[in-house]
Amino acid sequence: AERARLAASRGPGRTADGHPVKLLLNIGSAKDLRPGAEGVGLFRTEFLFLDRTGAPSFEEQVAAYAEVFEQAETVIVRTLDAGTDKPLPFLGLPAEPNPALGIRGLRVDRVLPDVLDTQLDAIAEAARATGTQAWVMAPMVTTVAEAGAFARRARERGIAKVGAMVEVPAAALRAGALLREVDFLSIGTNDLAQYTFAADRQHSELADLLDPRQPALLQLIGMCARAGREAGKPVGVCGEAAGDPLLAPLLAGLGVTSLSMAPVCVPAIREALAGLTLEECRRRAEEAVG
Ligand code: PEP
Ligand code: MG
């Protein structure tokens, strides 16, 4: 039993009956990398530039991305998620009355298309320079057309895998159609909860609405996972829910193929998955959705 416990304390994520669920890291820079996970599921690139007043150059971006690519197997780079809770002063975006519902994430591309072009060029160049396959995904994707346009621009540059984050209910409802445009989905439960329950993610009075155990949120996650299974494409979760040991088995039971979390959460999630069979995870998911 001790040997089984030790084996379960390292290696890939698996349920007790061996069903794989990839354990990935959420990072903001190379400094956050830790051993023990199977790659990076969310590289929040905006964290590199939060206090900048001038735009980061192409060369500076190549160096920052290459530093991560050199040290990790697979890395999913999220393009800049600026706006609302993460303003990027160098973009110089005007203040808005409803920033969470305004120009944020991929929507910045509507007003400043050069920013995404330069970032995609830099990601592609960093991948080439380090001999790795770059995976990229866009935050705040809302429509299938947005996902398709983003995928074309990434593929033009030879980026190997292109994904869309699911953070808006409209995207979850269209998961099957999104997966005809992109190679994978990554569910950002922090924002998906905010937009599903119309509750500011930083509002402590509304914490019960933002609880990812809410059946409506779990149902949306289940829809995405089902679409992924039908398309034969990965669908992961990279919001805080993925690092919660009570929720992780439930997410596996809903059918998600990877969980991406803060590095400190990895051991507890590995253990939580190893303690239950896939069938038990599915049962928990069914009970929670109700
Ligand atoms: C999310 O919204 O769940 C997510 C992972 O992105 P961020 O927390 O960076 O908005
Ligand atoms: Mg988000």
pLDDT in tens, 30-69: 999 999 899 999 999 999 998 888 999 999 999 999 999 9
CA 242/CA 212 separation, integer angstroms: 10
Q: In this structure, which residue's CA is closest to atom 8 in ligand 1?
A: 190
Pairwise pLDDT comparison (52 vs 198), residue with the higher score: 198
* ipTM value greater than 0.95: yes
Among 75-89, 99-113, 258-272, which is the least confidently predicted range?
Answer: 75-89
The pTM score is 0.96
In the numeric block, the tokens 């933002």 are attached to: 210
Confidence of residue 242 (pLDDT cuts 50, 70, 90): very high
CA 5/CA 91 separation, integer angstroms: 49
CA 160/CA 16 separation, integer angstroms: 32
CA 168 – ligand 2 centroid, Å: 9
CA 121 – ligand 1 centroid, Å: 23
The whole-number pLDDT of residue 9 equals 61
CA 188 – ligand 2 centroid, Å: 5
pLDDT at 93 over 70: yes
The whole-number pLDDT of residue 10 equals 75
Among 47-51, 59-63, 78-82, 216-220, which is the least confidently predicted range?
Answer: 47-51
- What average pLDDT does this structure show over 121-132? 97
pLDDT at 265 over 60: yes
Phi, psi for residue 161 in degrees, rounded to 5: -130, 135
pLDDT at 7 over 70: no
Mutate to test the pocket of ligand 1, among 81, 168, 221 (most ligand atoms within 8 A of CB): 81
Task: State if residue 78 touches ligand 1 by the CB under 6 angstroms criterion.
Answer: no
Helix 58-69 and helix 113-130: axis angle, to 10°?
A: 40
pLDDT at 6 over 70: no
- What average pLDDT does this structure show over 2-28? 84
CA 2 – ligand 1 centroid, Å: 36
